[in-house]
Amino acid sequence: MDGKNTTLQPVVHFCIILCIVLLTSLEANAHMWRRQADAGPGTTKNIAEIFQGRCHEHIQCLQTDQCNRRPKVINCTAIWIEFLGAFQHQNPCNTSADVYDDVLTMAVPITPDDQTLFWSGLLDAALNVARVSMQYRILEESLPGYMANQLVWCGDDDPASVDGINYEKCPEWGACENETSFRFWQAASREFSRQATGKVSVALNAHRDGGAFRNTSVFATVELPNLNPDTVTMVEILLVPDITSTEEGEKCGKGSIKELERRLDVAGLPWICTYDPLEFRYIQCTTLENPLEYKACRGDKQESQRAKEETIIVGAVLGGVILILIIVVAILLVQSCKRLTRLDDSQLMIPT
């Protein structure tokens, strides 16, 4: 028995040392982001007021199109307290995957049948299209997405911190694996995808470096796997080119889109793919200073209208010139006729 203990002792010691080394390096990794020169900005100032204000605005449908008239009673203060509890006084790189689950039970993302729109690589265009079109709803228009969109937040685990919120700096997106705001968007995206029904759409940037469908994106890793083939009837891929680019970008059935189409086939989700959807083309035109400089913004109808107008102008100028010529010729003719008549008269008065 004693002999066995003596043999085990070095193994136990080795394991303890290994555990200490591992824990220390994990702890050091979790704090690494602080030393990175590119650490992002700190928590958005007045985040509590903004978050709760947006919540009240959303549930009262003050931005009419960006809300859902829901029967469930929403308590904005309770949602904020739950949200704050998920990161306050905590290391922002040590967030567990389920920490925002209760927030998302209180503030569920909801979209009507056939209107869910996912996006990857083009937030602004997707947000603008969704705002003006009744056809599409994105996560950022649903309650949880609306409250959190464009906010920065992270906790401070320094015991000296009074409110446990870091207003100086937060980790950059992707600076650490278990980053707190990334955890929130992962959870919100998962719930957003689970509730989607009917036809769903995904807008992808055809000019994105490395491919429009990015394997590591939230769309690829969270939203796509959480689509329910029993309730989703069709996935519409909207491949959006940058209208200012001279290159065409990725096309349906090619490159990374082919991989997306394959994954949809495997998941049993029927799909269609549209290159250069008009809503996205025209919304991009509205953001340009001189949109008519780009062929994509003139559109076929406008182009032929412009050609028609040009024909009318050229016709009018030509018509004017011809009319002037006719008048001049007529005047000349009249004058020469008069001259001839005078000549005839003078010839008739020949002196005898």
- Residue closer to ligand NAD, measured from CB, 264 or 297: 264
CB of 82 closer than 8 Å to CB of 106 = yes
Cβ 220 to ligand NAD shortest distance, Å:
7
Q: Residues in the site for ligand NAD, rule: CB under 6 A?
A: 118-121, 123, 139-140, 149, 173-174, 185, 189, 192, 217-219, 223
Cβ 159 to ligand NAD shortest distance, Å:
30
- Residue closer to ligand NAD, measured from CB, 40 or 164: 40
- Residue closer to ligand NAD, measured from CB, 157 or 172: 172
- Residue closer to ligand NAD, measured from CB, 82 or 223: 223
- Residue closer to ligand NAD, measured from CB, 43 or 189: 189
Cβ 135 to ligand NAD shortest distance, Å:
16
- Residue closer to ligand NAD, measured from CB, 188 or 243: 188
Residue whose entry in the numeric block shows the structure tokens 């050091």: 28
- Number of other residues whose CB lies within 10 A of the CB of residue 187: 21
Q: Are strands 40-41 and 117-120 parallel, antiparallel or unpaired?
A: unpaired
Cβ 216 to ligand NAD shortest distance, Å:
8
Cβ 3 to ligand NAD shortest distance, Å:
58
- Residue closer to ligand NAD, measured from CB, 14 or 173: 173
- Residue closer to ligand NAD, measured from CB, 161 or 226: 226
CB of 110 closer than 8 Å to CB of 195 = yes
Cβ 291 to ligand NAD shortest distance, Å:
24
CB of 96 closer than 8 Å to CB of 178 = yes
CA angle 305, 307, 310 (to 5 degrees): 110
Cβ 217 to ligand NAD shortest distance, Å:
3
CB proximity list for 9: less than 8 A, separation 6 or greater = none
- CA 32, distance to chain mean position in Å, is 30
CA nearest neighbour of 239 among 279, 209, 274, 194 = 274
- Residue closer to ligand NAD, measured from CB, 36 or 341: 36
Cβ 6 to ligand NAD shortest distance, Å:
54
- Rounded Cα distance between 59 and 57, Å, is 6
Determine which helix (DSSP H) or strand (DSSP E) holds 196, and give its type and residue range.
none
Cβ 127 to ligand NAD shortest distance, Å:
8
CB proximity list for 206: less than 8 A, separation 6 or greater = 212, 239, 240, 241, 242, 248, 249, 250, 251, 275, 276
- Rounded Cα distance between 284 and 172, Å, is 28
Beta bridge partner(s), residue 275: 239
CB of 33 closer than 8 Å to CB of 39 = yes
CB proximity list for 106: less than 8 A, separation 6 or greater = 74, 75, 78, 79, 82
CB proximity list for 194: less than 8 A, separation 6 or greater = 226, 228
